[in-house]
A and B are shown apart, each in its own frame.
Chain A
Amino acid sequence: MEKLPYYAKMLKEGIPKIKAKTIPDNKLFNFAAEDSWKEKLDTDILDAVSTLISEYDEVLRRIRVSRADIQTKKRYKDIDRILFSQGKDEDFDADVLYAEFSKISDEHLQKIHEAMIEQNWHRMIEEDREVFLSEWLPELTEYFDILSDFTFSGYRILNDLILDIREANSAESSRQLYRDGDTENMVVMTDAYVNKLASDSYREAVAKKCREILEKITKPADAVKYAVALGKRGFMWDVLIDYVSKNALKVRRDDL
Chain B
Amino acid sequence: MINEKEEFLSYINFPEYNSHSKTDYGYLGRFTLEMFEDLTGFNRVLTILARGYMFDEEGNADIARAERAIRAWCSVPDKKNAKPLEDWQYITDFRVLHDEFPELVDKNGKGWLYRHIENIAAYVKKNPDKVSQAAIKKTNDYLKDFEKAWRRKVEQFHTTIYDVNTINGWIIRFDGIISDALELGPLREEEVEIPDLILDKLHERLPENCIEGVTVLIKYYIANRQPDTDWVVISHINLDGYLGYGTFTKKLLATIPEDILIRSTNHGVNRYKIMPDFLP
Distance, CA A74 to CA B271, complexed state (A): 24
When distances are taken between beta carbons in the complex, the residues of chain A under 8 Å from B233 are 85, 152
Q: For the complex, is B108 an interface residue (Cβ under 8 Å from A)?
A: no
Distance, CA A2 to CA B160, complexed state (A): 24
When distances are taken between beta carbons in the complex, the residues of chain A under 8 Å from B213 are none
- Write out, one digit per residue, whether chain A residues 77-105 have a CB within 8 A of any chain B CB (1) or not (0): 11011001111110000000000000000
A85 touches B176 (CB 8 A): no
Q: For the complex, is A65 an interface residue (Cβ under 8 Å from B)?
A: no
**One of B161, B164, B167, B229 near A122 (C-beta < 8 A):** B161
A151 touches B179 (CB 8 A): no
When distances are taken between beta carbons in the complex, the residues of chain B under 8 Å from A89 are 266
In A209-244, which residues have CB < 8 Å from any B CB? none
B267 touches A84 (CB 8 A): yes
B267 touches A122 (CB 8 A): no
Distance, CA A77 to CA B267, complexed state (A): 8
Q: For the complex, is A113 an interface residue (Cβ under 8 Å from B)?
A: yes
Distance, CA A159 to CA B169, complexed state (A): 12
Distance, CA A87 to CA B231, complexed state (A): 6
| Size of A's binding interface in residues, CB under 8 A | 27
B70 CB, min distance to chain A CBs, angstroms: 15
In B226-240, which residues have CB < 8 Å from any A CB? 226, 228-231, 233
Q: For the complex, is A208 an interface residue (Cβ under 8 Å from B)?
A: no
Name which of B164, B183, B271 has the most chain A CB atoms within 10 A of its CB.
B183
When distances are taken between beta carbons in the complex, the residues of chain B under 8 Å from A175 are none
Q: For the complex, is A156 an interface residue (Cβ under 8 Å from B)?
A: yes
B86 CB, min distance to chain A CBs, angstroms: 24
Q: For the complex, is A64 an interface residue (Cβ under 8 Å from B)?
A: no
Distance, CA A163 to CA B167, complexed state (A): 9
A81 touches B266 (CB 8 A): yes
Given contacts A75-B167, A78-B168, A87-B226, contact A155 B179 (CB under 8 A): yes
Q: For the complex, is B63 an interface residue (Cβ under 8 Å from A)?
A: yes
**One of B167, B179, B268 near A123 (C-beta < 8 A):** B179
- Write out, one digit per residue, whether chain A residues 101-127 have a CB within 8 A of any chain B CB (1) or not (0): 000000000000100110000110000
B179 touches A122 (CB 8 A): yes
In B252-280, which residues have CB < 8 Å from any A CB? 266-269, 271
A2 touches B268 (CB 8 A): yes
When distances are taken between beta carbons in the complex, the residues of chain B under 8 Å from A84 are 266-267, 269, 271
**One of A86, A87, A151, A155 near B161 (C-beta < 8 A):** A155
Distance, CA A198 to CA B168, complexed state (A): 41
Q: For the complex, is A56 an interface residue (Cβ under 8 Å from B)?
A: no
Distance, CA A122 to CA B168, complexed state (A): 14
B228 touches A87 (CB 8 A): yes
When distances are taken between beta carbons in the complex, the residues of chain A under 8 Å from B268 are 2, 81
**One of B162, B229, B271 near A159 (C-beta < 8 A):** B162
Q: For the complex, is A43 an interface residue (Cβ under 8 Å from B)?
A: no
List 27 contacting pairs A-B, 8 Å CB cutoff, sorted by A: A2-B267, A74-B167, A77-B267, A78-B167, A78-B169, A80-B267, A81-B169, A81-B267, A81-B269, A84-B266, A84-B269, A86-B226, A87-B230, A87-B231, A88-B229, A89-B266, A116-B162, A117-B162, A122-B176, A122-B179, A123-B63, A123-B179, A123-B182, A150-B183, A153-B168, A155-B179, A156-B176
Question: Interface on B for A, CB 8 Å cutoff?
Answer: 63, 160-162, 164, 167-169, 175-176, 178-180, 182-183, 226, 228-231, 233, 266-269, 271
